[in-house]
Amino acid sequence: MTEASTGLVGIHGLVAGEVTADVAETAASLRRLTVRGVDLVRGTLDDEPPLGAGMVLVPWPNRVEGGRWALDGVPQQLELTEPELGNAHHGLLARERYSVRERGPGRVLLAAPIPAAPGYPFHLATAVEYRLSADGVEVTHIIDNLSSRPAPVALGAHPYLRIGDLAVEDLVLQLSAGRALNLDDGHIPRGSVDVTGTPLDLRVGRLVRDVVPHGCYTGLEVVDGLVQHRLRAGDGREVRLWAEAVFSHVQVFVTDDFPASGGAVSAIAIEPMTAPPNALRTGDSLRWLEPGERWTARWGIRLVG
C-alpha cells in the first residue's frame, strides 16, 4: 500500500490496493472514494465543500432551532449559521481546518480543537481517522472532554453516495429504519411516525426519484452491532454505508443542484448521526461526556458486488 498526493494544499490522497480516496483538512471532509475504478461519493477538491459534502459534523449534527438551548437552566445562544431558516447548523467545525496528526499507508488522522464558544461553553479535543480497507473506507471519530464539567456531544457525517456515473435517481435506496421524524418547514422534528405502509418506508427499497427529498429516520435495525443503509444499482452493485449502533439516526437529503464540472447534477446524502436534529435543545440521544472522558464511534462506506 502506498500514499499518493493530489498536489493540492490541504487535500490528502490515500491509496490501498484498488481503493483510493481524497480527504480534505477543511471540515475533515471526505472528497473522493473510488473502489476498483468505481466512484462511491460525490465531492470536490475545492476548499469549501459544496452542500456540506463529506463534512464531519460535531459537536452536534444537523440543526439547533433558533440556535437556542438551555444548560442547567441557563439560556445559551449559538451563532445562526443557517440564517435563512434561523438555525445553528452542523456544529462548530464545518468551516474549520483540521491539522494532520498522523499519516501512514492508506490512512490519515486529522485533529481539531473545539474551544469554549458563545452558546457552547465547553472545551473538546476532536479527531477523525480515515483508513482504507479492501472495499472502501472506515472512519473513526474520537472526542475528548477537556472541560471541568460534563459536555453534551453528538456527531455525524455528510457523504453524498453514488455508484460510478449511474444516474442517482435510478438507484434504489434501502434504509433499515422503522420510524421517520416529522420535519417542519425549518427541518426541525415535531414528533415521529411509524413508517409502515407509508411512502417513508424504505426498508425494502425505493427508487431515489420517489424518496421524500428531506427526511430523518430512526428505529434502525441493528445486526451484529451495526446498522446498514444501501444504495443499489440494477446490475447488482451496491454502495453500503455501515455504522455502529450509536449512530441511531440517519438523515436523507436529495438534491438536483449538486455542483459538478458539467453543471448541476442530482445527488443524495445519507448522513449517519448519533442524535436527531435539535438534540442540544431536546436532549434526545445526546452523549454527556464526563471531564477527561473519551468517546469513539465508527462508520464506513464499502462497495458490494
* pLDDT confidence of residue 1: 38
Mean pLDDT by runs of 10 across the 305 residues of the chain is 59 97 97 97 85 97 98 97 97 97 97 97 98 98 98 98 97 97 97 96 97 97 98 97 98 95 91 98 98 98 96
Query: Counting Cβ atoms within 10 Å, is residue 142 exposed (0-12), middle (13-18) or buried (19+)?
Result: middle
3-state per-residue secondary structure call for the chain: CCEEECCCCCEEEEEECCEEEEEECECCCEEEEEECCEECEECCCCCCCHHHCCCEEECCCCEEECCEEEECCEEEECCCCECCCCEEECECCCCCECEEEEEECCEEEEEEEECCECCECCCEEEEEEEEECCCEEEEEEEEEECCCCCEEECCEECCEECCCCCCHHHCEEECCEEEEEEECCCCCEEEEEECCCCCCCCCCCEEHHHCCCEEEEEEECCECCEEEEEEECCCCCEEEEEEECCCCEEEEEEEEEECCCCCCEEEEEEEEECCCCCHHHHCCCCEEECCCCEEEEEEEEEEEC
* pLDDT confidence of residue 6: 62
* pLDDT confidence of residue 47: 79
Query: Could you give the CA distance from residue 46 to residue 95 in angstroms, rounded to a whole number?
Result: 13
* pLDDT confidence of residue 260: 85
Query: Could you give the CA distance from residue 174 to residue 204 in angstroms, rounded to a whole number?
Result: 6
CA neighbours closer than 13 Å in the CB half-sphere of residue 153: 30
**One-letter amino acid identity for 167?**
A
List own/partner pairs for 29-37 with CB under 8 A and 24 or more apart: 29/53, 29/54, 29/55, 29/56, 29/158, 30/54, 30/130, 30/137, 30/139, 30/157, 30/159, 33/136, 33/137, 33/301, 35/135, 35/136, 35/302, 35/303, 36/303
Judge contact between 133 and 16, C-beta under 8 A.
yes
* pLDDT confidence of residue 239: 98
- Rg of the chain over all Cα atoms, to the nearest angstrom: 18
Domain residues of the chain, as ranges? Answer: 3-304
* pLDDT confidence of residue 48: 83
- pTM of this structure: 0.95
* pLDDT confidence of residue 5: 54
As a CATH number, domain 3-304 is 2.70.98.10
Q: Residue 123 — left, alpha, or beta (φ > 0 → left; ψ -120 to 50 → alpha)?
A: beta
Q: Is the dihedral of CA 171, 172, 173, 176 positive or negative?
A: negative
* pLDDT confidence of residue 3: 57
**One-letter amino acid identity for 11?**
I
Dihedral of CA atoms 296, 17, 21, 126 in degrees, nearest 10, equals 20
* pLDDT confidence of residue 261: 80
